[in-house]
Amino acid sequence: MRLTGCPLRCSYCDTEYAFHGGEKMSVDSILAKVVEFRNRRVTITGGEPLIQKGVYSLMRKLCDDGYEVSLETGGMLPVSEVDERVERVIDLKTPGSGEVDSNCWDNIAELNSKDQLKIVVKDRADYEWLLPLLTEHDLEQRCDVLLSAVAGELSPTKLAGWIIEDELDVRLQLQLHKILWGDEQGR
């Protein structure tokens, strides 16, 4: 479920279409729509979903109804109030994003074994920037760390080589939506 709106303007954003538009819906009408899909797993993403007023009650109600819920957030807002049953995927912004100053660093302390920390890497400078963070915050032991190459700017093969060379305990994440549907919006 993609929610509209994001105050960030990352240099490599691949969902600019989610900045505006969308359809206003109550939490109850969203829940009714979710039932129609007959799927037990719901991912809430954006834009930035945590800027939406009803998102916390939506996540809580989905969990209460037995759904497996994950939240993909840009990491600029605290995740401390997110229902503990929700798997949190927190995007840590690198210098190459142009939004590194927007990171809510308190979120690092919130990470647990159920969560994922996603870091989109634009270039070698971003990669070098993240290395000390992995050690300083013991991130590889606390949660799954996902590294993703900015499409069209850094080869995933090159990023994979750096990960192997440095023997990092992280996962390489590819942008499957780009592989499957290219730059088509709203898929």
Is residue 4 included in any domain, yes or no?
no
pLDDT bucket at 186, cuts 50 / 70 / 90: very low
Neighbours of 99 (CB within 10 A): 20
Is residue 3 included in any domain, yes or no?
no
**Does residue 4 carry a pLDDT above 80?**
no
What is the model's pLDDT at position 92?
94
Is residue 9 included in any domain, yes or no?
no
Q: What is the CA radius of gyration of the chain?
A: 17
- What percent of the chain stands above pLDDT 70? 86
pLDDT bucket at 152, cuts 50 / 70 / 90: confident
Is residue 44 included in any domain, yes or no?
yes
pLDDT bucket at 155, cuts 50 / 70 / 90: very high
Whichever domain contains 36, its CATH number is 3.20.20.70
What is the model's pLDDT at position 64?
95
What is the model's pLDDT at position 9?
63
Is residue 6 included in any domain, yes or no?
no
Q: Which is higher by pLDDT, 108 or 30? A: 108
The DSSP annotation for 41-94 comes to EEEEBSS-GGGSTTHHHHHHHHHHTT-EEEEEE-SSS--TTS-TTSEEEEEEPP
Condensed to tens digits (0 to 9), the pLDDT of residues 45-93 reads 887 888 888 899 999 999 999 999 999 998 889 999 999 999 999 999 9
Is residue 69 included in any domain, yes or no?
yes
What is the model's pLDDT at position 23?
76
Containing domain of residue 147, as a range?
Answer: 16-181
What is the model's pLDDT at position 103?
93
In the chain, how many domains are there? 1
- What percent of the chain stands above pLDDT 90? 60
